[in-house]
Each structure stands twice: as C-alpha cells, then as structure tokens.
C-alpha cells in the first residue's frame, strides 16, 4: 500500500497585532482624530479602546478563537458642538479599515428623515434610509425625538420598531450610532429598553473648557486664513467667558458662529475705511481680526444674570 505523503500544515498559534495594525492603517485615522479635535481626551481614549478591541478580535479570528461578531451599535451623548459627528465619521473609517463594514460611509439623519406625517408614510421612509445606510454607519442625531409619548398619533414608534429589528437582524451589515443630549438620551433609553440592550458602547462627550474653545477658534481662523492679534485674542477670551454663561451655548458651533459675525464686522470696517479714502487694503489688513470686531458683539452689552 502506498504511503500517504501529504504533509499537514501546523495550526497557526500566534497573531502579529502590529502587522494587522499597519495593514489596516487605523493608526492614520486615530492620528487624524487627534489632529482634528481639540481636547476630548476621554472620548479619544474610548475610541482607541474600541479600535484596539476590534483589532484583537480580528487577530482572534486568524487563530480560530473568535467569539462571534461583536456588537458595534453606539450612543454618543453630549451637548451640541462637542464633535459627535466628526468622531462618528472617524469611527466609520476605523470600522471599514478593519473590515467590520463594507462601505466607508456615514449617513446622518434626524427624525424628519425617518418619521412620516400620515399613516403608511413612516415605514417606507425608514426603510429607504436603512437601505441607503446599509453596509456602513447610520448616525441618528437627536434620536430621542423619535419617541413622543405625549402624542398618541405620533408615528415615531413605528420607525423605532423597524430600527430595532434591523439593528438586531442585520447587525453584521449596519452600525447605528444614536446621538443627543445626555439627559434626554437617558430618558429615551428608559422608555425604549430595546435600544439600550442593543447598544454596546456609550460614549459621553464633555463640554470644552474655555482655553480649548480659544484653541478651536484659532484653528478655525487659520483654516480660513484669518488671525487674531493680541488684543483680539484677549477680547475673544472675554467673549467666551461671557458667552458660556448665556443660554443655548453650543461649544465649537457657537465659536464658529461668533467668528462668522466677527468676520462680517471686519469686512464692514474695512469697507467703511475704503469709502473714506484709506486706500487699498493689504493682505495683513484682510486677514486681521481686531478687538473691535469682537467687542461689538451684544454679548458684551447684555446684562448678566
């Protein structure tokens, strides 16, 4: 009888984590996150932990010891302007590069994109959004508005039921990120325990500190080829100390709005000077925001409570 000369391959017993890390290029995404967002240390730490966990799961798969597909649905809670959408975009990149989603895409929606205004309208709207997001990440901002218990004729519950079913049955092909104010999200989860049981990662986004908001402002100005001088920087610091205490403060979003208004005042100041014969404006003048452009804000004249 002829001997069987087939040589069996030895089972793989080691996984090179650094090789997987380099091949996935998730390090580039994490570096971009550090570069693009000021502060948010606890958020960045959680994102790195999630990325490391998913990388290790990929390594476990290569050794045949994977424990099944991880649950990837998430909740980002915090006040407006704290970087939730930006982080969601980076999370989509990490998931795509590690092979957990097919498409590097983030579909961002609100209640209006999911809930109809009459009977029979909600289901097709919700399913159309899910079809568009499939293979990637669906980001639902202010998700608590899906549930309106005070309105008996509200159709949000229908959208919720479709979302829950899809999050469970197609979790290998869609990641859902719910976002909104922290306290309202807690109320939403208490009213909809099905969502809480499907969310693997709850990440809280803290408000920015004043010095971080000033850094954000300077980064925004640099991107637009503007700058503060020393007096304008001090004026903007004073602006922030007042604006933070007023209603409807939205962190980086409020900073951007304040800079847009300051640019309008600068433009009006330069044009008025030209009308009075100041002559051509040089590049420095066109790029410079002065203290007067900041201090003209009504924040400096409103009575503080």
pLDDT at 167: 94
- Selection from 158, 149, 161 nearest residue 118 by Cα: 158
Report d(CA 77, CA 203) in Å as an integer: 6
Rounded (5°) CA angle 61-62-65: 45
Q: What is the pLDDT along the chain (305 residues), one digit of tens a residue?
A: 555 555 555 556 787 889 888 999 999 999 999 988 999 999 999 999 999 999 998 888 888 887 777 889 999 999 999 999 999 999 999 999 999 999 999 999 999 999 988 888 899 999 999 999 999 999 999 999 998 877 767 888 999 999 999 999 998 999 999 999 999 999 999 988 889 889 999 999 999 999 999 999 999 999 999 999 999 999 999 999 999 999 999 999 999 999 999 999 999 999 999 988 888 889 999 999 999 999 999 999 874 54
Give domain limits for the chain. Answer: 17-205, 210-300
Residue 303: predicted pLDDT: 47
The CATH number fitting domain 17-205, selected from 3.40.50.300, 3.40.50.880, 2.60.40.10, 3.60.15.10: 3.40.50.300
Contact 139, 180 (CB under 8 A): no
What CATH number has the domain spanning 210-300?
1.10.8.60
Would you say 94 and 56 are in contact if contact means Cβ atoms under 8 Å apart?
A: no
pLDDT at 3: 53
For residue 5, the model assigns a pLDDT of 58
Amino acid 120: pLDDT: 83
């Amino acid at each position: 009888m002829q001997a069987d000369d087939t040589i069996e391959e030895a089972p793989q017993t080691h996984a090179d984590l650094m090789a997987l890390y380099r091949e996935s290029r998730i390090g580039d995404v994490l570096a971009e996150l550090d570069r693009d967002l000021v502060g948010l240390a606890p958020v960045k730490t959680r994102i790195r932990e999630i990325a490391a966990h998913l990388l290790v799961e990929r390594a476990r798969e290569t050794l045949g010891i994977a424990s099944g597909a991880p649950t990837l649905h998430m909740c980002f809670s915090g006040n407006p302007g704290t970087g939730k959408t930006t982080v969601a975009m980076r999370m989509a990149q990490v998931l795509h590069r590690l092979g957990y989603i097919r498409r590097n895409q983030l579909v961002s929606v609100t209640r209006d994109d999911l809930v109809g205004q009459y009977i029979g309208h909600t289901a097709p709207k919700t399913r159309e959004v899910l079809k568009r997001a499939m293979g990637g990440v669906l980001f639902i901002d202010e998700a608590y508005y899906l549930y309106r218990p005070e309105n008996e004729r509200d159709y949000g519950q229908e959208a919720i039921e479709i979302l829950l079913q899809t999050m469970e049955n197609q979790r290998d092909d869609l990641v859902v990120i719910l976002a909104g104010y922290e306290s309202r999200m807690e109320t939403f989860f208490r009213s909809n325990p099905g969502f809480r049981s499907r969310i693997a990662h709850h990440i809280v986004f803290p408000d920015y500190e004043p010095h971080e908001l000033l850094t954000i402002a300077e980064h925004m100005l640099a991107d637009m080829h503007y700058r503060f001088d020393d007096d304008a920087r001090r004026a903007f610091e004073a602006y922030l100390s007042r604006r933070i205490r007023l209603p409807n403060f939205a962190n980086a979003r409020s900073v951007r709005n304040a800079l847009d208004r300051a640019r309008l005042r600068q433009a009006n100041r330069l044009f008025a000077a030209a009308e009075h014969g100041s002559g051509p404006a040089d590049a420095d003048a066109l790029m410079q925001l002065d203290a007067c452009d900041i201090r003209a804000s009504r924040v400096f004249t409103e009575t503080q409570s």
